[in-house]
Amino acid sequence: MDPKMDSGFLKPGETLDDNYDVSRALLPEEVVGIMDQLLCYEVAWHHGYPLSQTLFTSIYIDRLLWPPSDCLSDAQFYRGIRPMGLHPLLDVLRSYCIALIKCCDLTIEKVTSRDYYEEEDFSTHTYNRSLLHTVPHDKVLELLRSSIEWLSNSRNRRPSEVHRTSRELEEALINRLTFRERMLLAVAPEQEILDLAAVWPAVSAALPPLEATHSLGRPVPDSFSEKIQRRLASTVPPRPTVDFTFAAAYTKLVQLCKDCEDALRVLEITTESPQEHLSFIWMFSSRKPAPLAYARSCLSSVFLARTTEGFEQLIQTDLSEFVFPADPVLDPVNFTLEAAQSSFAPQDKRLAMATIINEFTGRAAPQYFDMWNSLCQNRCRTRRMICNNIPFIDDLQFATEQLDDELHDLTHTMRYPLSTWVYHMKLRMVEWVVQLGFEQEVYLPDELAGMYWWLSQVASLRASVIEQVYNHLSRRHEILSNGGEIEKAETIRTTQAFVKALMYEATGTGALADAMYALYMRLHYLQLVPILSRPYSESSLRYELRMKPFLRLNPPQIPTFEAFEEATRMPSGSQDDVFAKYDVEGSVKEAKEAWAALKRLGARAAKSEVVQAAWEKNLASTIQSCIACGIAASTISNIPKDAGTGRVKEMFQVEIPGEGKRYHDWWVVPKIKRN
Amino acid sequence: MTESNSPATDNLRYLQYDISKEEEYLPSIRALIGKDLSEPYSIYVYRYFLNQWGDLCFMTLDPSSVLIGVIVSKLEPHRSGTFRGYIAMLAVVDKYRGQGIATKLVRMAIDAMKERNADEIVLETETDNAASLKLYERLGFLRSKKLHRYYLNGNTAYRLILYLKPGTGLKRPERDEAGMAAVTDEMYG
């Protein structure tokens, strides 16, 4: 018998049951030790590991859940009649465990209420055990509170009853129950929480005492057992327990609480502005370390929990923030009109416009939802889901052009406003796919030039789309100002500021991508970037693979392979000519100007006010990347003309920094050192 | 690359697996591959590959016919519409590593799949398995996507892909009875 193959097999003399006596009296320090160990397992579970390898290894938890009990009072460490002389501290531990189980139940409920990926994000498997699902959480709160009260009053009792519990240990136990109480309040269903913004700071505030008193605890390793896995309804063989140290678990827990708190700051966005939300979600998901599934679900269960009509309405708002500010096309009155009874009556243009808009938002809503949904996933999924969504956005754009034509017959707005909005979204998504590719180190060093070249093209294209919108808004602003419609003109002015912010972001991205492309081309010329020989692959096939998510797009049509090859071919000629052709300095200057202009415009104009600090930090990192790109270029600029390839290689050390080692994860600026 | 204390590699034999050799080789294949796994595959996993695609499995034997390296793969129509090769397992005995044996095995598998008209070859490897990434990327594989917590131990993987034919990226899934194409994560990226 191979114990690795059959991890369920018993060694000679070994039994399936554990010999641990759950009714034995516990010292208070042991209760603290058990609670802290449970906390470590809870955090490991939040990190994606199954209950079977974490909390379900606790014999106390096992006894509460199995055999199953119908009501709270039956969930005891014993079944049937309460054994005589059961130590009261066991009741304290029971309260804690019950509340912990209820927290797990509510956590699973929240995570599964939105899209998530089993095991990859989170493990919801309960092995056929109900985590007190039918027990209302306020009953559990009562239980916790009564234990807290009991401990608080312990001074009044005879010493023998509390095992001569020291005041310190009593406090430590109260700390743990208080933390659990607050945690339970925080994971309660949103509709039951009066002040969502307050719940997680309250949990965070309860954490430091846990850390401060952890050393008082005494571990009870015997009260945990891997053997319990063998009795769980599972097709998987028992696997090793996942052990996080208390210090590691504590740090992760602090982070989890902070992430949940910050996720709920989405409620501070008082407008229905999709662009504010977009900025918020990106800033949130870019946090390091990456927010866990539960924290992400705090955000998505607030933002994504809307009906299809809700998303259709959001699209209307999105349109009003881009192509249709203060535009008669979106006048709310239009949507209240009813069709004339007689077919001879002239058609009301306003009604016709509303019909077109409704048709459009109805059509766009599924793709629009998908985009938001993908941004609420883990970063790897986000990239893959956007790849999947892009072709559908492409179809949507094609279908929308006809609606634009119909709209054009009714109103003198810009040409193709709806498909322009779709196109802009699509180009943004293409950029995200490429940039997340840099972030996730999907591209090898010798692919970077080509991928920045493509990014630069897409971003420049997007800038030109934005410019058309901006010009349209300028014209409307002028007309409205001249016509004395000050309020509407002001709305357009605000939108113009936002559109300008988009433009700076697009031009800044395009220019910096161009600078990065040029820098890598210079490095290729100097043979400072390793190139793989790849005997089994052709560059045209690699290009096809790289461009796969975009192959069928129209627009933008991807560059032909010939154009790509021309752009990325190893440069030849004199160094002066090559360096002049690949103008890093010029592009860096342009990029810096654009990003600086965005900075001047500010978070408010960019609809990022709620996440202003993160927005500014992100911008600062991007500007740092521009500077670093310029410095890298200057480091390799003064090479003696007669230096051969060999000498150049000796002169420099080029390091391509990995994720987390860059100023900004989307900008892979090489670190170049002159020896 | 040959280290002074590494065994010589000039008299190694490479050979294709065949189902008639199950008794002779399967136990050592399992032992070799299972050695580095925290949870070994069941025998059915091996048989799934070896019984259907034994010709895409190659073995390296030392002069005394001891198995020191193996690659296990398969090739079948994929729901994305491509004829997709998949490298499922690759292992070389510790002391023989760093001498190009794994590379040679991969090359043999690629050649065999190419011969059988594969459109593409894919595999997954852990993001921090530098040696494996290097091996495949040198041959021409690209990373197509990152798979968060792909493995049971919570580790993240890269999917690596090698296109063998033009037009592979444009292939479409076959439509089902309702005429709807199954849209999956595998289609794009």
pLDDT in tens, A495-515: 999 999 999 999 999 999 999
Is the pLDDT score of B95 beyond 60?
Answer: yes
Does B172 contact chain A (CB < 8 Å)?
no
Of A235-239, A260-264, A575-579, B59-63, least confident by mean pLDDT is: A235-239
Q: Is residue A318 part of a domain?
A: no
Nearest to A120 among B110, B149, B158 (CB): B149
Of A50-64, A160-174, A368-382, A404-418, least confident by mean pLDDT is: A160-174
Q: Give the CB-side neighbour count of residue B101, counting CA atoms within 13 A.
A: 31
> What would the pLDDT profile of A32-69 be if each residue is shown by its tens digit?
999 999 999 999 999 999 999 999 999 999 999 999 98
Calculate the alpha carbon distances from B54 to A185, A416, B49, B103 in Å.
58, 58, 7, 19
CA–CA distance, A21 with A302 (Å, rounded to integer): 44
Interface list for B 56-115 with A (CB within 8 A): 107, 110
Q: Is residue A47 part of a domain?
A: yes
Cross-chain Cβ contact A545/B144 below 8 Å: yes
Tell me the chain B residues in contact with residue A540 when contact means C-beta distances shorter than 8 Å.
166
Does B139 contact chain A (CB < 8 Å)?
yes
Is the pLDDT score of A266 beyond 50?
Answer: yes
Among A235, A251, A267, the domain-final residue is A251
Task: Write the CB contacts of A251 (distance below 8 Å, at least 6 apart in sequence).
Answer: none
Is the pLDDT score of A642 beyond 80?
Answer: no
Which homologous superfamily does the CATH classification assign to the domain defined by B13-170?
Gcn5-related N-acetyltransferase (GNAT) (3.40.630.30)
Does B1 contact chain A (CB < 8 Å)?
no
Grade residue A339 by pLDDT with cuts at 50, 70 and 90: confident
Q: What percent of chain A has pLDDT over 90?
A: 85
Does B30 contact chain A (CB < 8 Å)?
no
CA–CA distance, B26 with B40 (Å, rounded to integer): 14
> What would the pLDDT profile of B176-189 be if each residue is shown by its tens digit?
555 454 444 444 43
Grade residue B1 by pLDDT with cuts at 50, 70 and 90: very low
Q: Is residue A548 part of a domain?
A: no
- Mean local confidence (pLDDT), A203-229: 96
Q: Which of the two residues, A270 and B91, has the higher pLDDT score?
A: B91
Is the pLDDT score of A333 beyond 70?
Answer: yes
Q: What is the pLDDT of residue A346?
A: 75
Cross-chain Cβ contact B189/A378 below 8 Å: no
CA–CA distance, A365 with A348 (Å, rounded to integer): 26
B83 DSSP β-pair partners: B77
Cross-chain Cβ contact B142/A384 below 8 Å: no
CA–CA distance, B122 with B187 (Å, rounded to integer): 13
- Mean local confidence (pLDDT), B77-85: 96
- What distance in Å separates residue B107's CA from the closest CA in chain A? 8
Determine the residue among A236, A381, A537, A562 to mutate to test chain B binding: the one whose Cβ has the most chain B Cβ atoms within 10 Å: A537
Tell me the chain B residues in contact with residue A551 when contact means C-beta distances shorter than 8 Å.
169-170
Among A251, A273, A293, the domain-final residue is A251
**DSSP letters spanning A508-557:** HHHHHHHHHHHHHHHHHHTT-S-----TT--HHHHHHHHTGGGTT-SSSP
Q: Provide the number of structural domains found in chain A.
A: 2
- Mean local confidence (pLDDT), A531-549: 97
Does A235 contact chain B (CB < 8 Å)?
no
Are A443 and A511 spatial neighbours (Cβ–Cβ below 8 Å)? Answer: no
The secondary structure element, H or E, covering residue B11 is none
Q: What is the pLDDT of residue B175?
A: 64
Are A285 and A291 spatial neighbours (Cβ–Cβ below 8 Å)? Answer: yes
> What would the pLDDT profile of A410-420 be if each residue is shown by its tens digit?
998 899 999 99
Task: Provide the domain limits for residue A117.
Answer: 28-191+198-251
Grade residue B99 by pLDDT with cuts at 50, 70 and 90: very high
> To 10 degrees, the CA torsion angle through A397, A398, A400, A402?
160
Calculate the alpha carbon distances from A622 to A613, A617, A625, A662 in Å.
14, 9, 5, 10
Q: What is the pLDDT of residue A424?
A: 98
Q: What is the pLDDT of residue A345?
A: 75
> What would the pLDDT profile of A137-150 be if each residue is shown by its tens digit?
999 999 999 999 99
Give the closest residue to A178 by CA, choosing from A206, A152, A155. Answer: A206
Residue corresponding to tokens 């970077």: A448
Is the pLDDT score of A10 beyond 80?
Answer: no
Cross-chain Cβ contact B143/A391 below 8 Å: no
Grade residue A4 by pLDDT with cuts at 50, 70 and 90: low
Of A75-84, A249-258, A422-431, B86-95, least confident by mean pLDDT is: A75-84
Residue corresponding to tokens 């509340």: A99
Cross-chain Cβ contact A442/B146 below 8 Å: yes
Is the pLDDT score of A270 beyond 90?
Answer: no
Residue spans per domain, chain B:
13-170
Tell me the chain B residues in contact with residue A545 when contact means C-beta distances shorter than 8 Å.
142, 144, 161, 163, 168-169
Task: Give the ipTM of the model, two decimals please.
Answer: 0.94
Tell me the chain A residues in contact with residue B143 when contact means C-beta distances shorter than 8 Å.
441-444
Nearest to B154 among A49, A443, A534 (CB): A49
Is the pLDDT score of B2 beyond 60?
Answer: no
CA–CA distance, A300 with A281 (Å, rounded to integer): 9
Q: What is the pLDDT of residue A163?
A: 52
Tell me the chain B residues in contact with residue A5 when contact means C-beta distances shorter than 8 Å.
40, 42
